[in-house]
C-alpha cells in the first residue's frame, strides 16, 4: 500500500476513534476533572475549550468547515458545556485579576521567570495555583446546571463574561492611560479631540492578565467585538475565503508559480467575493495573532467564538509556515529590513483604514497607525525597564529595545498603515473618489514625519 494511502487510512481510523470516545474526550467539563494534577488543566492556549478539544482541532488537517460540522454533530451538548466551562474560568480568574490590577506592582509581575507552552500563551505559573478553585467551580456547575435550560445557561455565561471584561477595563494600568488621554484632549481642537476617542476605541486598552507582558493588551477587544457583530454566515464566509485563498497561495508558491504578495493575494480574493476592506482587515488582524485569546467571546456568542477559534488554528499554521519559508513574499510594500510581525502590520493597516473611514485624511490615518505602534513600543520598553533594578544606562535601553523589536514595530506602523490606507481607499466606494479629505487638510510637515 502506498504511503499516502496508509496515512489516510490511519488518519481516518484515528479520527473515528477520537469521536468514539464521546463527550468525555471533548468536553472540558468531563476531561479536565480526570486529570487534576495536569499542568494544563486550564489550557494555556485555549482556556475555555480545554486541552483535549483544542488539541483535536489543531491536529485535524481537514478544512475547518468539516471539522466544525463533525464536532457539532458528534457533540450535541457542545454549547452548553463550553458555556459552563467559561463560567468556571471567569469565576476562577476574577479574583486574581482584581489582585493583579489593584495591589500587584506591574514590575513585580513582569520580572518573574515564566514558561509558556507556546509563544504568547498564558503562563502555566499563573494558571497552576488556580487549579483547585477551577475544579470546584466545574464540579459545582456540573451539579447545579443539570436541569437548567440552555437559555438560562447562556444568560449566566453572558453575565459572567461581561463582568470579567469590565474588570479588565478597570485595571490600574488602563485607567492611567485614560487619565493621560483626558489631559491630552484638553489641549486639542475638537476635531482632534474626537480622534483621541476614536484611537482609544480601536486600540481598546485592557489588562493583559492572565498573560504576562510589559504593556496593555491592544486592539483585541475592538477586533473581536467588530467580528462578533457580523452575521454568522457572513463571518463564516469571509473566514472560508481567506483560508482557501491562503491554501491556494501556498500551493502555488511551493511549485514556484507566479504569485502576488501573500497579504495581497487573499485580500484580493476576499474583495472579489464581495467583502469590504474593513472586514477583511479585521480578519487579518485576528488571524495573524500568536494566540486566539478568545474567552469572554464564548460567553457572548458560543457559535461565533468556536467558528473563529477553529479557523484560527488553521490560519495560524499558514502564518507560521509562510513566515518561515517565504518571508520575502509576505508584505505588499516589503521594504523592511526585519520582519515586524504580521499581527503588528495587520493591526496598523486596520488602524489606518478605520481612521480614514471616520472622515480623517489619509495623512492623519497613516500618522495614527505609526503613532500607535510607537506608543505601544515605548510603553512596553518602559514597562520592562521599570522592573529591572539599578540605574538604566543607554546600553541597557538599546539592548532592551532591540530585543523587543522596537524598530521593526515602528516599521509595522509606517508600512502597515500605508498599505491599509491604500487598500481601504481603493476598494471602498465612498472614499475612493475625488471628495476625500486629503486635499483639504493635507499637512506637508505631517507627511514629512511619516516619511
Q: Grid cell 492578565 — which residue?
A: 209
Facing residues of 206 across strands?
217
Residues 264-269: what's their mean pLDDT? 95
Q: Is the pLDDT of residue 449 over 70?
A: no
Quick one: pLDDT at residue 399?
Answer: 80
34 pLDDT band, cuts 50/70/90, is low
403 near 334, Cβ under 8 Å?
no
Q: What is the pLDDT of residues 285-342, one digit of tens each?
A: 999 999 999 999 999 999 999 999 999 999 999 999 999 999 999 999 978 888 888 9
Confidence at 6, pLDDT banded by 50, 70, 90? very low
pTM of the full predicted structure? 0.87
The pLDDT score that the predictor gives to residue 190 is 73
Mark residue 341 as left, alpha or beta (left: phi above 0; alpha: psi -120 to 50; beta: remaining).
left
Of the candidates 281, 85, 263, the residue with the CA atom closest to the CA atom of residue 202: 281
- Cβ count within 10 A of residue 117: 14
Neighbours of 166 (CB within 10 A): 11
Amino acid at each position: 500500500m502506498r504511503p499516502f494511502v496508509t496515512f489516510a487510512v490511519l488518519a481516518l481510523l484515528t479520527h473515528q476513534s477520537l469521536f468514539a470516545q464521546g463527550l468525555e474526550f471533548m468536553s472540558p467539563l468531563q476531561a479536565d476533572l480526570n486529570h487534576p494534577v495536569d499542568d494544563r488543566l486550564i489550557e494555556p492556549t485555549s482556556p475555555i475549550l480545554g486541552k483535549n478539544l483544542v488539541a483535536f482541532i489543531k491536529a485535524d488537517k481537514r478544512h475547518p468547515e468539516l471539522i466544525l460540522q463533525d464536532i457539532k454533530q458528534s457533540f450535541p451538548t457542545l454549547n452548553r458545556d463550553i458555556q459552563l466551562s467559561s463560567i468556571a474560568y471567569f469565576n476562577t480568574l476574577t479574583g486574581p485579576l482584581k489582585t493583579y490590577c489593584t495591589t500587584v506592582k506591574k514590575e513585580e509581575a513582569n520580572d518573574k521567570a515564566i514558561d509558556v507552552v507556546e509563544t504568547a500563551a498564558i503562563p502555566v505559573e499563573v494558571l497552576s495555583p488556580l487549579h483547585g478553585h477551577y475544579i470546584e467551580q466545574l464540579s459545582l456547575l456540573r451539579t447545579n446546571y443539570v436541569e437548567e435550560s440552555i437559555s438560562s445557561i447562556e444568560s449566566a455565561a453572558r453575565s459572567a463574561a461581561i463582568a470579567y471584561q469590565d474588570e479588565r477595563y478597570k485595571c490600574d494600568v488602563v485607567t492611567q492611560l485614560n487619565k493621560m488621554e483626558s489631559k491630552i484632549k484638553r489641549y486639542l481642537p475638537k476635531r482632534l479631540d474626537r480622534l483621541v476617542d476614536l484611537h482609544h476605541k480601536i486600540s481598546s486598552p485592557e489588562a493583559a492578565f492572565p498573560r504576562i507582558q510589559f504593556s496593555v493588551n491592544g486592539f483585541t477587544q475592538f477586533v473581536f467585538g467588530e467580528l462578533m457583530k457580523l452575521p454568522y454566515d457572513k463571518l463564516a464566509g469571509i473566514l472560508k475565503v481567506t483560508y482557501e485563498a491562503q491554501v491556494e497561495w501556498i500551493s502555488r508558491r511551493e511549485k514556484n508559480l507566479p504569485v502576488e504578495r501573500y497579504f495581497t493575494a487573499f485580500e484580493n480574493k476576499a474583495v472579489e467575493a464581495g467583502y469590504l476592506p474593513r472586514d477583511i482587515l479585521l480578519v487579518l488582524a485576528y488571524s495573524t495573532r500568536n494566540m486566539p485569546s478568545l474567552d469572554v467571546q464564548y460567553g457572548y456568542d458560543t457559535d461565533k467564538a468556536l467558528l473563529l477559534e477553529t479557523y484560527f488554528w488553521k490560519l495560524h499554521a499558514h502564518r507560521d509556515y509562510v513566515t518561515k519559508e517565504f518571508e520575502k513574499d509576505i508584505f505588499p510594500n516589503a521594504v523592511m529590513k526585519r520582519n515586524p510581525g504580521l499581527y503588528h502590520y495587520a493591526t496598523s493597516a486596520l488602524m489606518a483604514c478605520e481612521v480614514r473611514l471616520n472622515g480623517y485624511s489619509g495623512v492623519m490615518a497613516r500618522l495614527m497607525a505609526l503613532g500607535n505602534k510607537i506608543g505601544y513600543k515605548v510603553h512596553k520598553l518602559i514597562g520592562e525597564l521599570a522592573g529591572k533594578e539599578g540605574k538604566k544606562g543607554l546600553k541597557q535601553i538599546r539592548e532592551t529595545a532591540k530585543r523587543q523589536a522596537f524598530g521593526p514595530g515602528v516599521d509595522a506602523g509606517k508600512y502597515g498603515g500605508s498599505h491599509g490606507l491604500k487598500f481601504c481607499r481603493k476598494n471602498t466606494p465612498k472614499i475612493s473618489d475625488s471628495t476625500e479629505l486629503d486635499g483639504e487638510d493635507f499637512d506637508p510637515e505631517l507627511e514629512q514625519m511619516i516619511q
